[in-house]
C-alpha cells in the first residue's frame, strides 16, 4: 500500500478499517469513489473517499 499518492487497494482499505473486502467494494460503488482505470491492476481507490465513507457510517452507527 502506498500512502504517498493518496490511493490504496481494496484489500489494504479492508485491513485498515477492519471490515470485509465486500464492504469496501459496496462503499466504493454506492459512494462513487474515485479509482484508477480498470486496466490498471490492482485497482486503487482514493483514500479521502474511503475515509469519508468510513467515518460517515461510523458516525451514524
Q: What is the pLDDT of residue 57?
A: 93
**54-61 long-range Cβ contacts below 8 angstroms, 24+ apart:** 54/17, 54/19, 54/27, 57/27
Q: pTM for the whole thing? A: 0.84
Domain count, the chain: 1
| Domain coverage including residue 21 | 7-60
pLDDT digits (tens, 9 = 90+) for 12-50: 999 999 999 999 999 999 999 999 988 878 999 999 999
pLDDT of 4 higher than 90: no
| Any domain includes 17 | yes
| Any domain includes 2 | no
| Any domain includes 22 | yes
Cα–Cα distance for residue pair 19/41, rounded to 1 Å: 22
| Any domain includes 42 | yes
Q: What is the pLDDT of residue 41?
A: 85
- The DSSP result for 2-58, as a single string, is -TTTTEEEHHHHHHHHT--HHHHHHHHHHHT--B--TTSSS-EEEHHHHHHHHHHHH
Amino acid at each position: 500500500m502506498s500512502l504517498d499518492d493518496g490511493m490504496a487497494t481494496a484489500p489494504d482499505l479492508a485491513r485498515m478499517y477492519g471490515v470485509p473486502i465486500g464492504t469496501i467494494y459496496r462503499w466504493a460503488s454506492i459512494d462513487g469513489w474515485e479509482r484508477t482505470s480498470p486496466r490498471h491492476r490492482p485497482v486503487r481507490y482514493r483514500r479521502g473517499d474511503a475515509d469519508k465513507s468510513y467515518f460517515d457510517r461510523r458516525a451514524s452507527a
